[in-house]
Amino acid sequence: MGRLWIAIVLALAVGLKTQLTFSIVHEKSLIWDTSRQRSFYIPAMIMAVQGDPTEWVAQTRPEIKYIEAPHFNWEFRALGFDWDAKSIYWSEQKNKKIQALVLNGSTDTRTLFAGTSTEVSGIAVDWLSRNLYFTDTVYNWIMMTPSTPGRAGYRIVVQDGLDSPHGLAIYPQKGYLIWSDWGARPRIEVSDLEGQNRRIIVERDILKPMGVTIDYVHDRLYWVDSAKFTVEAVQLDGLGRQLIHKVEDITLTGIALYQDFIFLTERKLATLRVLDKKTPVKSYKLGRNPFDIMMYDGSQQAGNSSACELLGCEQMCIHDPVTGPKCICGEGYVPGDEESISCNCKIFVIRGAHNGWIGPIA
């Protein structure tokens, strides 16, 4: 088990309240990650403003809480969460892992997957099926692994035609997995939760789409394009595209939504930008380069995982909104029964797009 030191330190961000804090707890929060600062030997951190944004955005100096990486060479990258499990998830570049932390005061981390590349830029958690998906821009695939403690296995759900997948979002009630890709043919695609039935949502006038997120109230997709310096939105069927915001010569990487607020992480100037619909309302200087951002909020994850839990799958369950829940087995396993509730191991090797090799973790 890894161990994170819960920070009892001073907030470093300029313009944010300087106050001793104990931890990030399980409550509505805007959460982002920041890179380490080599010159001052300051480790990477996961940072948060806790509480309802409609209350703290109006404040000049909101309180910051954060979690400090246990080792200086760690770098957090992509972020995800499961509200009912009280858990946050991240990709870590140095050790090439996907890890989790329960926000209950514990400092023990759990490894979901070991053996990623150093470039995992997107994480999405299916809170109904209890699976975690992530993009890997070196292997050029999207992987799925169970997020429930005690379950193992993983499955490549999308690989064909990927050429630098980055942002990732999920809409389990509709059975949608959505990702951005800015390889030779930049685009935003959608598939079902098993990576099938793919279709393109956006492919024109798009350069380097990074973070993506979903407005579950209005069924719209939002994304940032780091080469166009834009925030844009579109309906999930690809219609009704809209330019939300543009600022020249910045590097937008992450995007999160809460009601009418849009939160953006910007690496070049190390800022957290806040929009109210289209209107900029705040820009916080962070002092450290951020990457991903998410709104940790139960209202964004309606429903529960009871249907999958009742099946008792040994490895993974996928809850399709049309056909219902079903058990599936991961790479290197075959079903042990007609319903795939149990899985039997087989000898296997998987060759990645970078000619490396991976296999199951113990």
- Provide the pLDDT for residue 27: 96
State pLDDT tens for residues 69-78.
888 889 999 9
Which residue spans within 203-260 are E strands per DSSP? 209-215, 220-225, 230-235, 242-246, 252-258
Quote the pLDDT of residue 40: 67
* pLDDT score, position 17: 39
User: Tokens in use for 298?
Assistant: 């139960």
In the chain, pLDDT over 70 holds for what percent of residues? Answer: 89
Pick the CATH number of 5-315 from 3.30.450.20, 3.20.20.10, 1.10.150.130, 2.120.10.30: 2.120.10.30
Please state the domain extents for the chain: 5-315
pLDDT digits (tens, 9 = 90+) for 171-210: 999 999 999 999 999 999 999 999 999 999 999 999 999 9
pLDDT tens for 14-60 read 344 333 234 899 999 999 999 987 766 788 999 999 999 999 998 77
In this prediction the pTM is: 0.90
Asked whether 278 and 245 are in contact (CB, 8 A), the reply is yes
Indicate the Cα dihedral angle 88, 92, 97, 98, nearest 10°.
Answer: 20
pLDDT digits (tens, 9 = 90+) for 99-122: 999 999 888 899 999 999 999 999
